Amino acid sequence: MQQPQHITFTATRTTLTQVVQWAHLLSHAVWDADLVRDDLRSYVLEQVGDHEPIVVIDETSFPKRGDKSAGVQVHYCGTTGQVENCQVGVFLAYVTAKGHTLIDRERYLPREWIEEQQRCQTVGIPESVRFQTTPELARQLLERLWMAHIPLAWVVADTVYGGNLDLRHWRAAHADPYVVAVACDEPVGLVTPDGRRRRVEVREVEALVLPEQDGQRLALREGTKGPRLFDGAGVPILQPWEADGRHWLLMRRSLSDPGEKTYSFVFASTGTTVPAMVKASGARWHLEEDFEASTDLGLDHYQVRSYLGWSRQITLVMLAQAFLTGVCAQQVPVASPAGAPPIPATHDAASEGRPVLPLTVPAVRHLLGCLIWPAPRRVKLGLAWSWWRRWHRSRASSFHTKRRLEAG
């Protein structure tokens, strides 16, 4: 009975040592989180960069107890869907056909915090930090990309940022295309079929301009059960009260519930097609995937209160996610490895030729965890099982897609 106790004690001591080392890294070690962030961005560009990159803006919340952590306050917490004590961070995700990952971050500090100097000093908030809204923080993140001369094909955001006129004007001034969601009561100027110029709310546009059209059947993005289809249309809008051919209102209507509609403002080069606008707007969901994947890496599980500690924690989480994304981007199609479970004899010809689904960030993290710690005993079996699981998911996805397309 003594041996298990010794093993438990050794494991506990090792864990405590790691916790102390991690706390030192976040609070006292000498390194610059912003320089690491810049290196991370360069790494991401090397691994998944291409000629049509999309940057997605969004925020996420971190539920917290107490009032000592920098920036913590009672907000609406998007993570839990409730109004509760939390911190809020604004993020950028870099999305291409090769992969997607988080590349930048800023923490939102409520005005109440900025106005209490003693409170700021306690958690190390510099005196130079001023109050900024989340759209202003988003602009700060985009300005960093612009200063680094990083070209962007699109900037995509939800209504929190799409409804901010200053942010939209700033993007247009830099000639950077965007697709940003707006609320149904957002005002917009347009030319009606009888030639009049009117200022209306976006929910009124369909009845005024598209009374006889159902829109195009378009795919917003590819889901696990096939393409996410909807009816969509693009209408030129005035900016400001001039038709320049670059500003559009993109409207989407749900197939299952025609009363469910969403609207986006688009700024793009002349001749950009509606399907291209829709494809860009579908990149928003990749940021949600990045938030979900990085949660297991420590995005919202941390015990730091200081302003510096938060920036370092989040930067290191983004760095880990970027590394896993780079691993996913380097994979190539392979045949069934030795030791993989046999393919069921009941599969059809269509699924036989379907490629195995690519590795995802959670899959790579799980696989590395199995192969690195504890020491692997059967590496080939672990790799083979990963391959079989992805083949099985690919087969299930093909059946779901076929069924949805037949039903539609």
Strand 261-267 with 178-182, pairing: antiparallel
Residue 23 has a pLDDT of 81
pLDDT band at 219 (very low <50, low <70, confident <90, very high): low
Lowest mean pLDDT among 46-50, 177-181, 209-213: 209-213
Instruction: Decide: 100 and 48 in contact? Cβ < 8 Å.
Output: yes
Whether pLDDT at 347 is above 50: no
Residue 258 has a pLDDT of 76
Q: Name the average pLDDT for the chain.
A: 83
Instruction: Decide: 134 and 87 in contact? Cβ < 8 Å.
Output: no
pLDDT band at 324 (very low <50, low <70, confident <90, very high): very high
Percentage of the chain beyond pLDDT 70 is 76
Q: How far is residue 156's CA from residue 318's CA, in Å, rounded to a whole number?
A: 20
Q: Which amino acid is present at 338?
A: A
DSSP string, 6-58: HHHHHHHHHHHHHHHHHHHHHHTS---HHHHHHHHHHHHHHHH--SS-EEEEE
SS3 95: strand
Q: How far is residue 26's CA from residue 335's CA, in Å, rounded to a whole number?
A: 43
Residue 211, classified by CB atoms within 10 Å of its CB into exposed (0-12), middle (13-18) or buried (19+), is exposed
Residue 400 has a pLDDT of 63
In Å, what is the CA distance from 256 to each residue of 133, 182, 231, 278, 408?
Answer: 36, 22, 11, 19, 10
Percentage of the chain beyond pLDDT 90 is 48
Residue 325 has a pLDDT of 94
Whether pLDDT at 3 is above 60: no
pTM comes to 0.83
Taking residues 128-144, report their average pLDDT: 96
Q: Which amino acid is present at 110?
A: P
Q: How far is residue 218's CA from residue 227's CA, in Å, rounded to a whole number?
A: 9
Residue 289 has a pLDDT of 92
Residue 100 has a pLDDT of 95
Whether pLDDT at 8 is above 50: no
Residue 348 has a pLDDT of 45
Q: What does the pLDDT look like over 265-283, one tens digit per residue?
A: 999 999 899 889 988 998 9
Q: What does the pLDDT look like over 62-121, one tens digit per residue?
A: 998 888 899 999 988 887 888 999 999 999 999 999 999 999 999 999 999 999 999 999
Residue 351 has a pLDDT of 45
Residue 37 has a pLDDT of 96
pLDDT band at 388 (very low <50, low <70, confident <90, very high): low
Strand 99-108 with 73-77, pairing: unpaired
Residue 399 has a pLDDT of 64
